[in-house]
Copies of this chain bind each other. A is one copy, B any other.
Amino acid sequence: MAPLPPGSTIGILGGGQLGRMLAMAGARLGLKSHIYCPDADSPAFQVADGHTIAAYEDQAALEAFAASVDAVTYEFENVPATTAEILARHKPLRPGARALAVSQDRLTEKTFMRDLGIATAPFADVASLEDLKAALSDIGTPSILKTRRFGYDGKGQTRIDTADDAAAAWQAVGETPSILEGFVDFEAEISVIVARDTDGHVAAYDPARNAHRNHILDTSTVPSGYDATVEAEARTLAEKIATELDYVGVMGVELFVTSTARKLVVNEIAPRVHNSGHWTTEACAVSQFEQHMRAVAGWPLASPARHSDAVMTNLIGDDVTDWLSLAREPQAGLHLYGKGDARPGRKMGHITRISPKA
């Protein structure tokens, strides 16, 4: 299919900060955005050419939305399968349904990796308390019980320290279909933002090293501090996953670097622009947001080369009250998401500090 010309409209499901930054990046290229979100107060509406306020299950609204745009993408992986089907029937949905199916379900995701020969944490399917007990005797403790679906930022998961905690853990996850994961002894989490275009070309940005606070991403740092071998392997893994999924768009791939052997273990993938790739806005000629919009519009990818070193720090909840002093920092890009209420744990903005490449 030919690239969508400038002036085309990209439909974006989800009106949070990722949808907002996607819309702004598309606008650079002369692409219009139409945001679809049930929340009337969505930050992305402020910068988009059009918006629809409707539930993700509203078939009539979805069809009208699809009719008004030239391609559809999304800012979050938990797009209901029926929603995706309705949209894909009318317009190109990028990334496609397979990327959603794999990334929405931790068991499917881990099985997909295993089938590709990519290392993951040891895991087992847990559909009942009996399954959990069997899995614990197999995988051991400490381990983590996670719901297969709808987990993020540490939600929907519980740590198990002894096999005696099985029943309590099974209750803690709401007795829903889950997966038991063994602990990976890792010294760092890194992530790769990889892009793939409609012609199958792939381009990965430099890996970032991520640090968390209260289960939420705190900082992403490039360069990662790992040597060229580790970084090249991380990039190769991410490109392999994108290619196997016949993926179109930007994907975030989180990996653990194991403590002793420095082997790479895939933690999870996100079929969308990713918080750990926000640094690309300041440190590259073309950001992950524009890269995604290029792929969705059928355009060629940009070079992911980096001109600066960077540290991205999230502004969570009350962190954002420091906006005025943050605005005074030299060589920093401050981003505020246009959200009204700085609730604890809410992502309100981020700041990326750059420095010359070391």
Contact = CB atoms under 8 A, between A and B. Distances in A.
Interface of A: 3, 5-7, 20, 23-24, 27-30, 32, 45-49, 282, 285-286, 294, 299-300, 302-303, 305, 307-308, 320, 323-324, 327-328, 330-338, 340, 349, 354, 356
B333 A285 contact: yes
B30 A285 contact: no
A27 B49 contact: no
Given A47-B27, A308-B307, A338-B32, A294 B327 contact: yes
Contact of A28 (B7, B32, B49, B334): B334
How many identical subunits does the complex contain? 2
Nearest to A32: B46
Which of A20, A24, A30, A45 has the largest number of chain B CB atoms within 10 A?
A: A30
Which of A3, A28, A338 has the largest number of chain B CB atoms within 10 A?
A: A28
A307 B24 contact: no
Contact of A332 (B282, B285, B327): B285
Nearest to A304: B330
Contacts of A349: 30
Given A49-B46, A299-B327, A328-B300, A334 B27 contact: no
Nearest to A299: B327
